[in-house]
Structure 1
């Protein structure tokens, strides 16, 4: 960035900083949301809640399905796409 453009864009610096922070927060949240280790720990916690009677079977099944969907999405996000060669 040149000196002139830097001076002209200076009033936008706080907004660009906020956008940068928001993007970093989004990235961190997505990493945690799709971290297979975190999801497996949540599945284990869910099983424990069912075993101890804190939740009903229908509630367990509904929450388990959401977690398994996230786990599947996490695995497909990290899996490289196959290339077809002829």
Structure 2
């Protein structure tokens, strides 16, 4: 039965492989997006841009709020996984 099912669904193999690859890419992207070290570096970059005058106070605060929200979400995700 398993061999017959594999033969019948063989034309779908590229679709399954593509879906598996897309899932792996999504996991990697989420891992990088919620990486606390990366978020800290980005917060430091925002501070440096503010200090150099590239970003005004409002822009810097908006970026910092977004990054802090990501940091909190990353913490919640790690707690759920435990």
Fold shared by both chains (TM-score > 0.5): yes
Gaps of 5+ in 2: none
Name the structure 2 match of 1:26. Answer: 26
Distance in 1 of aligned mates of 2:57 and 2:18: 43
Distance in 2 of aligned mates of 1:12 and 1:77: 33
Larger relative helix fraction: 2
Distance in 2 of aligned mates of 1:53 and 1:20: 45
Name the structure 1 match of 2:61. Answer: 61
Stretches (4+) displaced over 6 A: none
Matched residue count: 81
Over residues 7-47 of structure 1, what are the superposed CA-to-partner deviations in whole Å (9 max), with x where a residue is unaligned? 00001000001100000000000001111011001001110
User: TM-score w.r.t. structure 2 length?
Assistant: 0.93
User: Considering only aligned residues, what root-mean-square deviation do their CA atoms show, in Å?
Assistant: 1.5
| 2:70 corresponds to 1:70 | yes
Name the structure 1 match of 2:48. Answer: 48
User: TM-score w.r.t. structure 1 length?
Assistant: 0.89
The alpha-carbon deviation at position 80 of structure 1 amounts to 4.7
